[in-house]
Amino acid sequence: MEKILFNITVIAFIICTFLILYFLQKYKHKERLLKIEKGLDPDLKAVKGNSKKSYLFKIGVILIGIGVGLIIIAVLVSFHLVHENLIPLAILGISGGSSMIIANSLDNKDER
């Protein structure tokens, strides 16, 4: 039963990743076409806030948040405080989501 659930989770993760990448590319293509129609520079690097430094900064903050979540899970498991399988997943989701919020607010603060 656990093997089937694991396989379904992996397949769902791969599908979600593919859909995210697909819609991001679709959005960038539409945005580029609109810029061309308006007579603007269609270069995607000219978009404010789309710099590589900003992107890497956000990824770094998100990875730090997920790492903190993993440390919290490791401490809870070592003290035998986790009795269900969903608690570690919830902790990862909360730490990852909060780190995304922090990364976005820090990035917006740098742009001002």
3-class SS of residue 83: coil
3-class SS of residue 56: helix
**8 A C-beta contact, residue 109 and residue 57:** no
**Residue in the structure block whose two tokens are 């810029």:** 35
Q: Shortest CA distance to 91 belongs to which of 111, 79, 76, 110?
A: 76
Burial status of residue 65 (CB atoms within 10 A of its CB: 0-12, 13-18, 19 or more): buried
The structure's pTM equals: 0.56
Instruction: Give the model's pLDDT for residue 44.
Output: 55
CA distances from 42 to 19, 32, 35, 55 (A): 24, 5, 5, 20
Summarize pLDDT for 31-89 with one digit per residue, the tens.
889 888 988 877 755 555 556 777 888 888 999 999 999 999 999 988 888 887 888 88
Domain ranges of the chain: 1-45, 48-112
Instruction: Give the model's pLDDT for residue 50.
Output: 55
